[in-house]
Amino acid sequence: ISICRDLPNIEVITFSVNGISDLEPLNQCQNLSELYLRKNNITSLNELFYLKNLPRLRVLWLSENPCCGSDPHHYRMTVLRNLPSLQKLDNQAVTEEELSQALVDGEEITAPPARRSVENGCPESTESSAAESTTETESELLNFSLEETNKIREELGMKPVPRDKFSSFSPRETDCNRKKRNNVLNAILLLMKELDKEGLEIVQQTVGRRLQAFRKKELQEE
């Protein structure tokens, strides 16, 4: 989702089922009108803090996240109190009555969620004793990302990415850079699904030119 920091004019974002837990990268997407985040790992409704200043946001799908909790009324009222411009929440139209009720039953969010320090999208390690747990979690997310990427590639008629190439683009890369590259790859593949034939042909031509440039550079280095 960090790729969104470089896409301030994007209007529709579909990141359902992606293990997303942090919405901070979206706070600069001022043209965003539709946001689909169903079945992610958003644990706190305080993440709505990052969406409060998006003037064009009209559609939000946030259901099946941990932040929805066990009280669907409190969840919906809190979302609507903080995002009163929404016209549809979780595929259900928002009514004037709900907006009025949200001022009474909803919780006002005035601060972002508390979390460990993050620099350029890479969490800083705060406890060495948690290293094993963190590594295991990242491995699970990586397996999930690979599965999703190959599913998208299959729909586009492309060959699947081998696990070794997906998880280790270069032995000299840091874990942070590798995860960033995986995120960019996923974002590109998702956006390609929205292109028509002409758009895909443009992408194909651009990729061809880039590959030729890389091959030429490799030959020069040899």
CB count, 10 Å around CB of 124?
8
pLDDT digits (tens, 9 = 90+) for 159-179: 776 665 554 344 444 455 666
What average pLDDT does the segment 79-96 reach? Answer: 94
**Predicted local confidence at residue 176, as pLDDT:** 58
Q: What is the pTM of this model?
A: 0.55
Edge-first strand order for the sheet with 34-36 is 12-14, 34-36, 59-61, 88-89, 92-93
| The listed CATH number (3.40.50.300, 3.80.10.10, 3.40.50.2300, 1.20.120.1770) that belongs to domain 2-105 | 3.80.10.10
Residue whose entry in the numeric block shows the structure tokens 């301030």: 8
Lowest mean pLDDT among 55-69, 79-93, 169-183: 169-183
What are the residue ranges spanned by the domains of the chain? 2-105, 178-221
Taking the alpha carbons at both ends of the chain, their separation in whole angstroms is 37
Q: At what angle do helices 96-105 and 72-82 cross, to 10 degrees?
A: 100
Highest mean pLDDT of the ranges 103-107, 165-169, 193-197: 103-107
pLDDT digits (tens, 9 = 90+) for 66-83: 999 999 999 999 999 999
